[in-house]
Each structure stands twice: as C-alpha cells, then as structure tokens.
Structure 1
C-alpha cells in the first residue's frame, strides 16, 4: 500500500503502472495543493520501497495563468507506456486561460512527460484548444465554443500512431467533442462544428477510446461517450479516422434516463480486429438507486455490428458499479481478455472492484472475483478506506512473471493498493482403483491417486502441494484420512497408493466414495476429485436385479373413521418379493400433510412423504405396522387417501403392483340442539315511540363430531305508509371462538318448517310461517363447531315503531311477533321459534246516563228481594241462642260425673 498521509489530495484518483527494476506506479493527486490552492500533482512511486516523488515540472506557468479556486484537476487522468522510463500523459481539464485577464475560461490542457524516470524533466505542454479565436465568439456573436471545453477530461494513448485521444465534454457549449493530437501538435476535432445551436449538453468526450471493430481490417475508429445524449439516456459514437469526412460509423444508445450510459468505456482488442466494447452506466437505477451496470457488446460477424449486450451488474444500491473500466489484459493466461470494473461507493462509500474473467463467450455475471478492502485488512494496521476503485491501472506484468499485476486507488483516503497476480498452473488429479465394483464379500482393495500440473506462464518449474485422501464410510476399518505434502515438477505425474480395508459381509449397498483433496501450499482453498465405487448385487452380468415386489395393506382399527371418536388409525402392510434379491427396499407412505406418522423409528419425512427402510436385502415377506395420528383431520373430508409405493435397487418386472392406494371412509356423529327465547316476553304499548326486542337463538353441539353450521333466521317485515314497522338493528353471534358471517336476503322459510298454532280472532299474528307475510332471511355461516358441548348464541335485535304497530293491531287485543330459525345436519332439520306478545292500549268509550240510572234502580230492587228472603227464613229471629246454651250446660254435667267415677275406682 502507498499513501501520502493526505485525505484531501485525492491521491490515487488515477494510476499508471510501468514495469522495470524496480517497477513504478505513476499516481495522480488532482487536489494536491500548491500555495494553498488545489492545483493537482503527479507522483512517481517505487513499488519496492513504496516511496513517492513528485514530478516537479508537470505544472502550470504559475505567474502567467491564474489558478481557479477549485483547482485545475492536474493528474485526474493518466495514460502512457508500460515500461519504466517510457513516456506518459496527464491532463488538467480545468486549466484556466484568460485572454483578457478579466475573463476565465476552463479550456484545459495536457502534459507529455517523455521519460517517466526523470521527475525534474520539463513536461511538454499540449494545448489542443488554445486557439483564442475559438474560445468565446463566432462572427462577433457570443458563443461558448472552446471556452469551457475542459480538454483532457479523459484521454487514451494510441501508441502505434503516437497519438493522444482527448475528451473535451464542454466544447460546443457542452455538447462535447473528441480531439486527437499528434507528436506534431496537429489537432483534429470530432465532430466538426456544423450546427452550434443544436444537440447541446450531451457531454461527448466524457470518456474516449479507440479500436478496430471490423475483422481483418486495420482501420481504427475513435469512440466517444455522451452520457447526456439521446434524450438523457446516453449514447456512444464511433467515428472513422478519415480527417476529411469524420464519418459516424455506428452509434450505441442507452435505455434508461439519467443512467449516464457512456460515462466509461473499455475496448477489448483482438489480433486481426473485431474488438468488443464495454460501456458503463454508473447511475443505472436497477431495483433501487444508483446501482450501476456495464453493457458488454460482443462483436457479431465481420462488419461493424454487435450482439445484443450482456448487462453486468451486482445490484448494490448507491454503489455506482461501472464508474471505472480497466483493461487487465489476459491476467489468467487463458487466451481471453479480462477486465476490472469498479463500484467506488459500495458499502457506504468504502468501494469495491470486480475482476471479470473472459471466456470464449465473453463476460458473464457468474465468472468474477470481488475485491474489497476488508480482504486485505489482516495485512495492514486498522485504517479507513474510502473511494476504493475510482482509480484503477491497466494490467501490467511488473515482475516479468507473465501474469499481469494492477493497482487500485482509494482517492478519498489517499491510498494506492498494489496487487500482484498469483502464478497460475493447471492441475490434473487422477484416481484409479484396482477394482471397479464392490461385493458384499470384498474385504480390501487399493487405490492409486496422482497429481500432474502444467504452467501457463512457461516459467514455473515445480510446485509444492498438500494432499489428503478421505474415506468417510462406515465400511472402512483402517485409516480414513491419508495426508502428505509433495513437490511436483511441471508436466511430471506424481502418484501414491493406498490400501483400503473393509468390514466382512457389509450390507451397505451404497457406492463407496473416495475424496482426493489437494491444494498449493501457499493457498488456503482446497480442490477435490471424487471417485465412487458402485456395489455389485450379484444379479447377472448386467448387475441389474430383476425384482418382483408386491404390497398389500389393511386397516385393523377402525374400519370407518368417526370424527371426534377415532384419533389414531392402525395399518398393517405386507411387502413381498418374488424375484431376484431386492436391495435397499424402501416403502414410501403418502398421506395429507394434516396426518402424521406416530411410529417414526424406521421412517424419515422427505419431500412430503414418509420414507421407510423395509430391508437392506429382501427375499421374503416383511410386515410393517403404522400408526397414523388423526387429530388434525379436516371435518370436510369424506375419505382419507393413503398411498403406498415400494422401491428397491434394480428393475421390477411388474411395476404396476408396486403401488397401493386406499381411501378410508370418514363419517360424523353429532347431536345438535336449537332453542330460543324472547327478551322481553310481553310488551305493552305505553306511548313510547320506539321499543326494543331481542330474540335469542341457542345452538349447541353435544358431539362427538364437528358440526358444520349454517343457521337461517326468518324475521317478519311489515311496511305501513312506506315505513317499516320492525327495524332489524343487528344480528350477532356472541362467541369469541368462532367468527360468523351473516348475509341478509328476502326469502321465505322452507315449507317443511313446523307450522304455528291458530290464534283467537282477538290476536294479530306476524310470523314468516304465514303465507301473506313478507320476511327477511339472515343466513349466518360459522363453519365447523369443532368442540363437543360448544354453544353459540345468535342475538337478533329489533326496533318496534309503536305508532305504526298501533295501527297494525287495530281492533285486536294483542299482536304476536314470531321469528324462526333452523339449520340442517345431514338429512335432518332442526328448528325453533320465539314470540313476543305486544298488547295494545285500551280505548275510552262514553257511556249514556240512563244506563247508570237503570243500573242503580236494578241494584236496589235486587237488594230488597234479598232482604225479604232472609226474613222468610227467620234469619232475623234469635231462638237458637237458648238452645245452644242449654246444650253447653249439659255437656259440663256429664264431664263432672265421669271424673267422680274415676276417683272411686282408684
């Protein structure tokens, strides 16, 4: 790791590696301060002692050109040779030129350092937009042509033409342009300024590249990204290099507004042309925001055409995947180019870099390696890393080991991390046993295991490996893990032998698995090769047993399942084999998920069914007994489906009898009741405008089976003068255990509901059983009453409008309001009715006066006749008084006589 101990200089914003002894990293720090202002700087860093020195002559003429308060961004881009001492280019896109010293224009400039070894060499100044006449006017009309061109915002060095390709996204009033400048300082601009007032703010030149996109052609095309082009969806333009026509060869278009499609470009070069291109869209929203993605366009045919793009993405919000694309070359030496894609704001701004490895089909979202600062945290003291991946170098073989290395900058914390590639070897493992099948009588065999490797870089002579032969099997009785370390020369096979001893007469019929683990000693991850030795079943030359399995089953208790009574079901199953030996015979039991198997000692629940081992070797009849738990059986079921399937290793000659399906009938036994009551029983009209009546219906289930209840309640409805006499306030079920849903319908009760009794003519009857009465039906469904002795109470609340009901009663003494309810259980109907008696108010009748006079006279006559009758019967004569008194005296004398006789006898 290299650092300047400065978090404000943006050290690591751009990086260029150069190989040599020692190799160096040229690092840009575009916010490095000079005289207190962030002018930017470029450093040469030794990759062995990690010391850095500033290029002192890569700078502006301090006394001639002013420094903007936000700096020039010198060192924001780098490109050049891959050899130490070669040349490199860097730019300051916000370099200010002031033709009148009172107007500042950021037209930008670049520097060419011809010897990277010499930090004091005067850098050659490149000013592609230095024409004063193009800075700010056009035919004396104000127009920002090159004034804010920001040339050097992006660069690519085309070595074979010794040409620098420069992006100037601010040219043509921020429409942008691609510039090329050669060693002779001649500059070409793409596109030519034809219509300066159209297509503004596209930012052409945000990133630039070059390539040969036609196979078997040496023609070079320039590529320019315009992230605000195509209606803010972004675009990529391919220009021909003919300076006379500047022909647009092809255009790629983005698919999402604001994704910044074209903000980063990478061309993958192939010998003979037909290059591929990757286009970054770092602000692609994805499923959240700013996830970012990269579109990979693979060449299609010999012409200037591409296959539909493959979208590379990681789906991490706010990571801006695709901000930087770097060419790593063929880093793994598999003949296909590889690349690095950065997500510098992943993980709350820490950043990440993804290495994508190419193949014959190109790039995919499956073949990549993720690098984050936490990967190498154990090698450094605790530190903060932010912006990791905004600067990524090209892949360069800095140590001459044929594998490219690269460097990654974390610009916000001023760090550069140098990554050296492992030497890649291709390892070929091999295992060969001295037998090809195992028998139950096999007690030992030997296995030969070997390693061979070849190198990709042509320099690796030998490699040290750790190996382990693993035999985790209960049949093995000797050593189960054989480990050793070996050093192997390239292309020479190294072999070892191991004897495996087995138990006698082992019945485990699964293949015996041997794992051969190996790894390079300096690495942590193990690779493996697996060998499986199959078992021989002694069933002919083809080793396939011709079995003949049959299955029968019967229930022992009960024959018919009664809900609420039978909680378990006992099944006896017989399995027979009339063919060759049946190895690893298994029985599969399938029942509804509500039914569980109680005796699970020999069964496992897998993939929705019970798998039961019948026998390792079956040559005779085997009985199995199953106990099923019926506690969760569903009350709506009419039968219980049970399926049996028998399998074994081999081929059954009659597979049709390997399956058995049973349907056990299910029935219900229950004893429901329904009663009702009115609260109150009687109501007297007393002048109150509204009276309340509540009719209660009680339903209970005495079990034992659940009751599927749908209760229908019928309430008479009468209208007088357009208004209802009875108003239904609510129909509720008061139980907290069951949720009832009620609907209201205009419906008459069934004809077989019990008829009401005939009433006297003085009584008005309102009942749904009367044919002329209209009714409202309330149908309440509760589902199943699962518990025995479970009670439900349905409450019907009715408002009585007394003024209307008085008219309804008329000359009758009372009115009977009857509501009815019923439900069915199977073919039986259960019903009840309850009645409220409503009495009318007595009327005041005026009686004539003559009736009072006649009544008094008649009463007096009757009184006189009564007195006369009593007189005739001697009622008023008291002759009986003396007679009564004499009888009393006689009784007293008799009593005294009896007392005297008693004394004498004594």
Structure 2
C-alpha cells in the first residue's frame, strides 16, 4: 500500500499576464509528513501559444496514479489545445517534471483523461497508461468520437514514439474515459481494464449503457480477454470509473469495483467483480446502492490460530472457553424523530395547460407535475413520467433525464435525497405538438412517484396518476375554377389541318382551417366516349402550384403511351400532404378532343360542343371529417363558320345593273347642267 497521498483540484485557476483566468489545475502530494505543491502548468508566460490554449486549460490532476511510491503521475487532458498530456515524477524527485504528450495528435483528444501505471511486459519496465477518449475521431467534427484509449509510454523518453495503441470499437463510446492497471491473477504482469461509458448496444435507441474491456498480459502483449456490459442498464454509463479493491474474498486474485453513476435515473450504483485466473468473473457478485435509511451493521469477532480441535492434549494449544465477539449498529441521521422511522405523506397532481390539442392550432403542451410532502423526510424519491406515443420534448427540468424506449418517451426525475418535510416541488415539461404524426389521436401521460421511505395510507393512492389529451383535427376543402374562359374555336372538316384539338382546364384546391392532411382524393369525371366512338384523349394531370415541397400528385391509371384514355370515364387522382393552416394547390388537366369521332356521330350538323368535367374532392384521413367539395368545369367549343361561293350569273347581273345605274346618274347630271348654262346666256 502506498504511503503517498495525492489530492488534486483540476479546475484550480491561475491568472496569466493578460489577467485571464485559466483552469491549469493544481495537486498536493503528502508523504513522510511532508506536503508538496505540484503545479507544472502555472507559468504565466506559457498559458497560450499562437492564440491557442497551451498551459491555460491543462486541468492537471484530472486523473491520478501512484506506483509503489516511486512513480507519481497525473493527467492533464486540456494541455496544448486539449491534445492532453501526462505529468510524471520519478523517485520522489519533485523538482524535475516530465511531461509526455503526442505533438502530432489531434486537438480535443483529451489524453490524460485517465492514467494507470504498471509493469505489463517481461522487460520489467514501468509503463504509463493514459486514456484519450476523443482521439482518432474519424474526422467527424462535432459528432460522436471513436475514442483512442491509451498509450503505453516508456518513462526514459519525453516524446511519444510509436506507443502501443488500443482502440475502441464503437463510434463515440468514450473508450479510455477510465482505466486501471492491476495484476489481477498475480502472475507478475500488470493487466489492464478500460472503461467505455458511452457504449450503446443499439444505435436506434438512447443508450449510454457502458462497458469495460479486460486485457490480460502474458508478458509479451496484452490480450483482449473479456468485454463486460450491462445491456439493459440504459443511461447508467457503466465503466465511468474503475478501481481495485484488493482481494476481498481472499482467493489470491485482485477484485475490481466499477461505477455506473447514472443508473436508475441518476441514483448510481457500484458493481463488484471478482478476479480470476483469466480475468474477471462474468457476473458481478455485489451491487452497492445509495441508502441513507438502512442502518449499517458492524461486527467484530476473534479466534485463536491454534486450537485443540481433536480434544487431545496439546502443549502448544490454548483452550478457548468462549469466542469473543461484538456488534454495533450505526444509524444515519435521517431527521425522522426518535423512532428513526421515516414516514412520508406524499401527494401528486398532474395537469396540462390545454384540455385538448387542435393540430395546427396548438403548438406546444406544458405538463406540470406538483409533488408535496406533508410528512417526514422521504429518501430516494423519484418521479417517472411515461409519454405514449413519444413526442418532441422542448424543455426538460434540470432534475430530469429523458430516454426513448421503443415508441414511448420515459422521463426520470430525482426529487431529492431527502425530499424534506413540508416541501413542495414542481416539475415542468414542455412538448412540441406542431408536427405530430397524423395517425396520433391522443397523447397519454403516466406519472408515478416512488420512495424507499414508509408512506401513509392516504398518500399511497395519490402517487400514480394518468392523463390523456385528445388530438382534434379540423380541415375542409373547397374546389374552385381558376377562371371563366371564352369559347374555344375549331375549324370544320374541310379547312382544319389536324383532327385533334388540344385544351386545358384548371381548378384550385383550397384547404381551410387548422390541421394538416396527409392525402386528398380527387375524383375527375371526363367525357370520353359516345356509343362506340372514343372522342377524348388520355389527360395529363399536373400541379401548377405546390403548397409545399412534400406535396405530390399521383393518378391511379397506368402511364402508358396509348393516345386514348381507358374506357372508364372516371379517374381517381390523389395528392398530398398539405400542411397545417390554409393551403392552396392548382391542378391543370390537359387533354384533347378527337373532332373526327364527334363529326362521324353527328354528321357535321353541329356548330357547338359543350364539354363538362366534374371534379369532387375528399379528405381520406380517418380522423378528419369533411364534406365533399364539388365543382364542374364547362368548356364551350365553337365551329368557325364557312363562307359559301357566289354564282356567276348573279355576279354578271349585278355588274350590268351597276353600270346602268351609273350611266343614268351621269345622264341626269349632264341634262341638269346644260339647262343651267342656257339660262345664263
């Protein structure tokens, strides 16, 4: 057992030459009744280099390790722009500081996040193991990192030249956040246990179950012998801390304690694993939980090492008349009176700020849970809220943590340890319902309060409550013609160049009221045939105006190259989705008339064609009730009249009559003018 004691404050700050406060860290070492201050990164001239953190945020003392009083090491994960470093002192020489760092490593690697010391190989040299949980992050800046865990460094050099590397296996599992170097099986070589607390068994669920890796040394190399994880421990971060607890069961193997600080909604737990020749036991043998109520039982007994067990005379054996023993119970100060029994009176009330949600109108729901204690102190008091189905959580109380379980949302809150008497607490949660799925008809909340303290009879019935909020949807449709059109002219059989006449119709669909709709079904009836003649072509239906990028249009007839529409004169067409609030879409129907087919039926005795397209719209979302909207688009086609040829005799007669009339007029004028001239003379 080391006689050295190392006490560190990694967030201790110093003031540099520019009066900036820097968390460079500080440690105190005590041995042989001496106290030594260790602050290798305090020099104000080296706090920053090229506008980057050098010494300034080293946080030395973040992790520590002592090896047989000859080696003292502590990590500084913030050194050199968070590349990290390990500070080492040898043979009680605290005047000379060795700082090991990887100059070519990436920034934000956090080397020194954990530190261990041991003799791992047959060369009997002392090695430093330093965890760097954010090193080699595959280049994904700002995302989860694939952690490089440790580097084994020989102490006679300052630079890290090709150290032994052990890597994590899952992106962002924080492999190397904790480690311990210990000879588990007492074969003379240090073994290594590495923690990865952010490990998640499934990428589709919120995880952070955590796991540890066990590496056993055979003198030549470290062999990965085990991976231990508690897969159902969601959010526990098993492996956040690892330490040796000695040989607790006296089997000549070192035993290990592993921390899971966030288990059970933040209550935390410590797991004990026993050492074995090949590593650790597959399953933990003990689990320690925080308990401030159950008294501690302590007992002490003694026995003689040489007893006369065979009831024969033994000159070296003492006769033990009675086996001395003693026991004592240590009670916690619970604040619950002389009976030391805590009886709490808890009440809970769950409310929301709305009685129902109108999709598209209500944007958020605020859930308030009020818990009060009118009895004695309540210990390990927790609130669990289950939301079915899971909806977006906008604001979470600082006392709570959320996890997704399949399609549900679970929220766990710590209400205090203890939750003191005559205390009122309010947990407020804010949910986003603006983009709730269309199939969701209601939101169900279940709240439950638990405690390890005794409860009064009245309070037991008030600690389980549920609340259901119905989702209402209001939407309606209106179909309107875009505009009235003048008659469409077409040529008769003798003068037209082609037999088909192209035309288009447009209708606008107006979705009104608050809620969004997934799909609108349009039924379009187009005149297609008369008796045995098909006179209209297959239409092309398209969106001229899209209310959103997601809005699509789809028809139920095959997209073939046939020029004519199918025999059915009814088309089903669907479009959607349309988001909440008023939305407008314009649909264009492009088709053509086969004029020859119409003329063959009516023998060219018509001058007008009235073409009517009937359209109905319906919401097919089951939760939305809406009346059908109908409209008709009528198009008038008018034949251009043809001018007939005039007979030749009529033309000749008309010319002769015109000439005679002209001669008569000229003769009359001549006579009148001659008479006037004679009178003058």
Tell me which interval the TM-score lies in, with the shorter structure as reference length. 0.3 to 0.5
Give TM-score, length-normalised by structure 1: 0.31
Q: Answer with 1 or 2: which has the greater Rg.
A: 1
Give TM-score, length-normalised by structure 2: 0.41
